[in-house]
Each structure stands twice: as structure tokens, then as C-alpha cells.
Amino acid sequence: MKEQILDRFLRYVKTYTPSDENGTGTPSTRYQFDLADMLAGEMTQIGVSDAYVDRNCYVYGNIPATEGYENVPAIAFIAHLDTVSDFCDKPAVPVIHENYDGEDIYLPAGDRTIRTSDFPHLKEMKGRTLITTDGTTVLGADDKAGIAEIMTMADEIIKSGMPHGKICLAFTPDEEIGSGAHLLDLERLGADFGFTADGDIEGGIEYETFNAAAARVTVTGVNVHPGSAKDIMVNAGLIACEFAGMLPEKEQPRNTSGYEGFFHLTGMSGEVAKAELTYIIRDHDRGKFEERKAKLFEVAEALNRKYGAGTVKVDEKDSYYNMSEILKDRMDIVETALQAVKMEGMEPRVNPVRGGTDGSALSFRGLPCPNLATGGEGYHGPYEHISLEGMELSTKVMINIIKLYADGR
């Protein structure tokens, strides 16, 4: 199994698939079709006869239930095709570290080092086969590890003849820009519930995510010659800085953990006449989430009283919600996943996601969908890494889930 996972993973991460938040349409980049078409072809080769890529770059395939197991719940396994665009201006060059020594890892081309002081879990990886990049790009284990694991799981199920209910496979575009689940055809998918494979260190089960929103703050100033600016000039750049300073200083990502939410300034630009700030807002608690969004408008209103109506404008859009609102009524799915982890001798890791997955949107669309770990860490940057053994364990957890539902028919 390890060899299959490694072969698939290396091919997938070398396939260039960044999404683009400024792209128009779905998918946001045409690159993602390269991997989608590759997967549909491989699915056909392993025996998934109805593998299909639609015009929006969603990949579908089903493994029919074993005869006599048609009443077993139909389970979907879902992963995303795209990677982040940050540190992704070229295809990844994976580097394999066999029999990893548990120490800092020097990345040969990027003059960067993955330090155990930053990633303490690396000490537990000693002796494993670790995969990184050369240090110049992301690895893309988020989420090509999930894809490799789902594909290997499907291959193993078909080859082994293990009895099972219907297994539904799907790979989605544009998850990293928050729109991956919106156009997934749930009728075509045909599942009763599902699991995304899009998590961290093996053994993780996640059913709580942030509530998320994005906001754009636009400041309109008045620009005149500074020598005659008294009582006339309104410096949009300075007001933008003032806006940022009026938000709670301690409620930023670097100061928060666990269930603590935040305001995150993701971009800023400006001059005297006009300035712009972009934020993401996150909180696990829906009430606090609404309060955070309201805070942006309160600050804007205060600045408009100070500098004049229309000086500061806030545009906000919700991105996704905490899937625990749905999954709290389907904890049986989570409990089965926990049991599947324990079957591999692991203690399940259950933590709130300080982010989101396609499972958030899918759960609110009617497909309960907790998240399974894939074995990696350090996502969204050049320090991303994953162990082959972690991917193997994550694949076995998926097989165990299928087995548990088949045994309980």
C-alpha cells in the first residue's frame, strides 16, 4: 500500500493546480483540469466505471455496493484538487527524506529549515519517510495527500473484494478560495453522508470549524497640496491605519488559539485619496461571529462621524459556517470515525478546526461531512511536510470506516 500511496502522491504534487481568488468562474484556474482529468483516467483504470469530470472541474465516481449490502449507507470521500496560490508560482519539487532522523530539516533550494522547535511533532516522526519540497514552493499535501489516500483506498477496496456499501468519490476545485463545495452535484454524488480528507496529523477527526466571513474596507479621502491642506485634506491612508488600530489588538491570529476567534488583516493598499483594507473574520461561536462583523461597521460609523459621512465603507460577505451546528445531530458518524482510528492503534485527535473545509458548506447543504486527517503539517507554506506512514494510516482509517458500516448492516 505504501508504494501505491507514494507513487500517486508524488505524481499529484508535481501537477500544478493553484486556485486564484481573483479568478472568474469555476474553476478559478484551468490548471485544475489537468489533475481532474488525470484522476478520472486513473479511476477508470482501477475499476470505477462511471468516472466523470464535469464542466466546472468536479470529479465524480462510484463503487457500487457489494451484492447484499445495498442497504448499507452510501459514504462519500471527498478531497480538493487545488492548492493555495502562495508559494506556488511553479510546480512543486518533492524531496524524500528516508529514515528521517528527527532533527531539523534543511530544504536544499530555498535556504529554509523546518525546525523541530517550530514543529515539535517532528520528533515523533523519527524513522519515518518524510516528504517536503526543496523549499521554494508549497508541497501541495493540502490536499493531494487526501486525493492519494482516497484513490488508494478505492483501489484496495476493489482489488480485495471486501464487502461494502456504496462508496462515492468526489474531487472538488477551488476549496482554498472558499467555493469548492458550492457546485458539487449532491444528486450525482449519491451519498447519505461523507468525509472530507483534508486534515493534519494522522488520527485527527474534526467536526467543528470556524464561522467565516471576508470584509473589504474602503476609505475615500480628499487630496490637496499639503502646503494648503489645513482643514481640507482627508488622508485615506492614515484613516485606514486608524481603522485597523480600533480593532481589538489581542484578537489577531498570532494571539489566539483553540476556540478563540480573530480579525485578520490580509491586505492593505492606499494613498491620500483612497485606501483599502481586506480582512477575514473567524469565530467558532455564531453569536460572537456576528458581534465581530458588527464591530467592523461600528468602527466605520465612528470614523464617518469624525471625518464625514461616506469616508469609510465596509463590504462583508459570509464564507462558511461551523459545521458542528449540523453534525451535533449526527455524532454517530463522528463516533464511527473515532472507532476507525482506534482500530489502527491510534488515540484519536479531536480538535476544533481553526479554518474550514468543504465539509462546512456540504454539511449545510444537507450532506453531513466531518473531516479526516491526512498525515501532514505546516500547510500553506514552504515548510509543509508529510510522512508516508501517516498517509498509510489515514488510508487505513477510511477502509476501517467502510468496514464498520458494512459489518453493521
Instruction: Quote the CA–CA distance of 392 and 198 in Å, as a whole number.
Output: 14
Q: How far apart are the C-alpha atoms of 58 and 174, rounded to whole Å?
A: 10
> 3-state SS of the chain: helix, strand, coil percent to 5?
35, 20, 45
Contacts (Cβ under 8 Å, ≥6 apart) of 295: 247, 263
Q: Which of the following is catalytic: 143, 155, 174, 175?
A: 175
Using an 8 Å Cβ cutoff, are 273 and 222 in contact? Answer: yes
What DSSP element (H or E) covers 76? Answer: strand 75-80
Respond yes or no: is residue 111 known to be catalytic.
no
Distances (CA, A) of 178 to 7, 78, 187, 261, 288: 29, 15, 21, 18, 21
Dist. CA 95–CA 238, nearest whole Å:
46
* 140: Cβ contacts below 8 Å, ≥ 6 apart: 12, 13, 17, 83, 88, 92, 384
Report the candidate in 315, 286, 133 with the shortest Cα–Cα distance to residue 208. 286
82 is catalytic: yes
CA 353, CA 209: separation in Å to the nearest integer?
5
Q: Which of 42, 82, 142, 377 is catalytic?
A: 82
What angle is formed at CA 89 by the lines to CA 30 and CA 380, rounded to 5 degrees? 95
Q: What is the DSSP letter of 83?
A: B
Residues 354, 381: Cα–Cα separation, whole Å: 16
Contact 231, 394 (CB under 8 A): no
Residue 237 burial (C-beta neighbours within 10 Å; 0-12, 13-18, 19+): middle
DSSP tag of 142: H
| Catalytic residue ranges | 82, 175
